[in-house]
Amino acid sequence: MKEIQGGVTAAKGFEAAGVAAEIKYKGRTDMAIVYSQTPCVAAGTFTTNVAKAAPVTWDQELVKESDFVQAIIVNSGIANACTGQEGYGYCKETAEAASLALSIPVKSVLLGSTGVIGKQLPMDRVKKGVEKLAEAKSDSIEAGTAAAKAIMTTDTCEKELAVQIEIGGKTVTIGGMAKGSGMIHPNMCTMLSFITTDAVITKSALQKALSEDVNDTYNMISVDGDTSTNDTVLVLANGMAENAEIQEGTEEYILFKKALHEVNVYLAKKIAGDGEGATALFEVRVVGAKTKEDAVKLSKSVACSNLTKTAIAGHDANWGRIICAMGYSGVQFDPEKVDLFFESSAGKIQIAENGVALDFSEEKATEILSQSAVTATADVKMGSETATAWGCDLTHGYIEINADYRS
């Protein structure tokens, strides 16, 4: 497996674009397209929030029922959530506009929206945006990056990655882009992620690979504990690599799934590290757990702890907050057996052994915690299972961004 330049346009036959439609923002792009030159099999995972946005409902139906898909239209600025039947009708109108502009079936157009909840889309601008996207799309790396920028809201940077693997003598490429900064919490978050691949793969194998991998990637990140109405991860596979068809349970499937994981975990970590107001990615590793479920619960509990996140923001080795967060996770463990470590590019330090503080250097701990990516590792010495969760520090910037988000 090797990492290559690009994102959603890295795989054969995929095109993209980002344009300015002024849906909410002025002076920046806010609509994107991902388009395949040939029909694709599609897989998706979606928010667990009961209050699902209209495009989530639309996509769920298409992924389940449509024989193929060929395009994704995404807007930022307005989420098209809590908009009733009118909002769902706007999904159909957007797909119809894309169908006309791209000469593809209405039911082959997937959708994504992100932004303010409760506002209706300005459909005149959306339709004009679709026309501009159809004209602007291309298969260049720059076009993929433009799409990644267009879907941003409070994100500070675009998020994209592409990798290549060899399957049966054929080069298979997987590329992706994502957005997410606030309203991020496990079980899908305020995040949109779009993955493209030129692999030949069955629809069932593609869905299985995605569904399983989401649990170890996007569902292991948290910024603020809020689960969004719009979370969507979509994967399109157009088969242009011409490899032998990948089916569940084969060596080729395992190889494909590893490559998909590489893209997903990168995008998930970029989302966590780009949390609203954040200055550091906060990684929490739990090792020595009795079960995988225990390891997941423990790591998530620490990553979601506001007290721990503020300590990371202050570069303070306040390790008791980690033990506290583990203690209310619902997992039974012995606090007097836990070893704790902090690690970053500045080094690694053990701060507690068997639940008791060591005589560590506060200066060194502060140096370690002052880096842009920090890892806390907890060894609970109960077994051999591990899990990793990702979050970010919690700063005054989070309040400043969200106090007047609608303006």
How high is the pLDDT of residue 391?
Answer: 87
Provide the annotated active-site residues.
Answer: 190
Q: Are 201 and 246 in contact (CB under 8 A)?
A: yes
Break the chain into its structural domains and give their ranges: 2-273, 281-402
Whole-number Å distance between alpha carbons of 202 and 10:
21
- The pLDDT assigned to 387 comes to 95
Structure-token pair, residue 268: 């998930």
Instruction: Supply the pLDDT for residue 49.
Output: 80
What per-residue confidence (pLDDT) applies to 276? 67
Q: Architecture of 281-402 per CATH?
A: Roll (3.10)
The pLDDT score that the predictor gives to residue 48 is 78
CA dist 263 and 163 (Å) reads: 7
The C-alpha atoms of residue 244 and residue 318 are separated, in whole angstroms, by 53
Q: Which of 237, 208, 268, 265 lies closest to 8, judged by CA? A: 237
CATH superfamily of 2-273: L-amino peptidase D-ALA esterase/amidase (3.60.70.12)
What are the residues facing 179 on neighbouring strands?
192
Report how far residue 113's alpha carbon sits from residue 90's, in angstroms, rounded to the nearest whole number.
12
**How many beta carbons lie within 10 A of that of residue 67, not counting itself?**
11
For residue 105, count CB atoms less than 10 angstroms from its CB and return exposed for 0-12, middle for 13-18, buried for 19 or more.
middle
Give the pLDDT of the chain (407 residues) as one tens digit per residue. 999 999 999 999 999 999 999 998 888 999 999 999 999 999 999 987 888 899 999 999 999 999 999 999 999 999 999 999 999 999 999 999 999 999 999 999 999 998 888 999 999 999 999 999 999 999 999 999 999 999 987 777 889 999 999 999 999 999 999 997 544 444 434 589 999 999 999 999 999 999 999 988 988 887 544 456 778 999 999 999 999 999 999 999 999 999 999 999 999 888 887 766 678 889 999 999 999 999 999 999 999 899 999 999 999 999 999 999 999 999 999 999 999 999 999 999 999 999 999 999 999 999 999 999 999 999 999 999 999 999 888 877 667 766 765 65
